[in-house]
Chain A
Amino acid sequence: MKKAYIAIAIMLVLAPIFAWAAEEVGYSEPLENAAEDVGAEEGESIFSGIFPDYSIHGINPYVSAFITGLIGCLIILLTTMIAWKVKNG
């Protein structure tokens, strides 16, 4: 179990590096490109999330890649912890 947490932590630390590398190749979402090519309008988004595109307002994008990754993992772990508590009474 401990090793699994370490593996997750390593991936989160790597997240900013991957964010940088994706920028280096001029990454943009393939399906979004395709949609643009055929002129599909991305309608006014109804809801774009609390941290749109894994960014936190006013924080460096690489730092936010790490923080948002951590937040995502914590939400999942907390939810399962609650489920576990509920089930075990």
Chain B
Amino acid sequence: MYGISIAVIAYSIKKVGKIDSSKIPLIGIVAAGIFAAQMLNWPIPGGTSAHFVGGALAAILLGPYAGMLAMTSVIVIQCLVFGDGGISALGANIFNMAIVDVFVGYAVYNALRKYNKFPAFLAGWLGIWLAAIACGVEIGISSIFAYKITVTVPTMAIWHGALGIIEGIATMAIVSYIKSYHSEFLPSGVTT
């Protein structure tokens, strides 16, 4: 997992290195906003909670490569500064939330925006859903967890299939707000 994540980070840095440097502050603000949003754990009765992830949002606002780096910076700081998500899981966490969520979100968004069928909502939803399935696969094949992949994947898929709807709504709301009032910050042709 580390290997894949490092390769994608390196490629994204190369891609982002070519962008207009006036976009750099925007990357920082989006990353800081996602970090702050992830601090907010929405309680779910029964002893659990969920928070916004934001990979698809980062992809829509920044494009996939800068979005990937924004998500990576959030996850790395959570891990190294706050001990959130162990170091051994860092590669997998980046893979799920900064690669799967971002690139799936971007692909869905890009494929649907010309039809104008809620691209941001579906990008947020499907991004989370596939990221959760990826996480289920990783836990299922990990030798540390006794649960089999036939248990972990459906469990992650069912819960995050539901939670992803909220992620989708939040993604759509934020994109449509920025589009209405601050469209100068968006890449051209962004629709909600």
Interface residues of A (CB under 8 A from B): 1, 3-5, 7-8, 11-12, 14-15, 18-19, 21-22, 24-28, 30-31, 33-35, 38-40, 45-54, 65, 68-69, 71-73, 75-77, 79-81, 83-84, 87-88
Closest Cβ of chain B to A45, distance in Å, is: 7
Bound-complex Cα distance A12 to B144 (A): 35
The answer, yes or no, to whether B173 is at the interface (CB within 8 Å) is no
> Which residue on chain B has the smallest CB distance to residue A39?
B146
Q: List 21 A-B contacts (CB under 8 A).
A: A4-B29, A11-B40, A12-B36, A18-B42, A21-B43, A22-B41, A25-B44, A28-B47, A31-B139, A33-B47, A34-B139, A46-B87, A47-B87, A52-B83, A68-B82, A73-B32, A76-B31, A76-B74, A77-B32, A79-B28, A84-B28
Choice from A48, A49, A69, A87 contacting B21 with Cβ under 8 Å? A87
Find out whether the CB atom of A80 lies under 8 angstroms from the CB atom of B39.
no
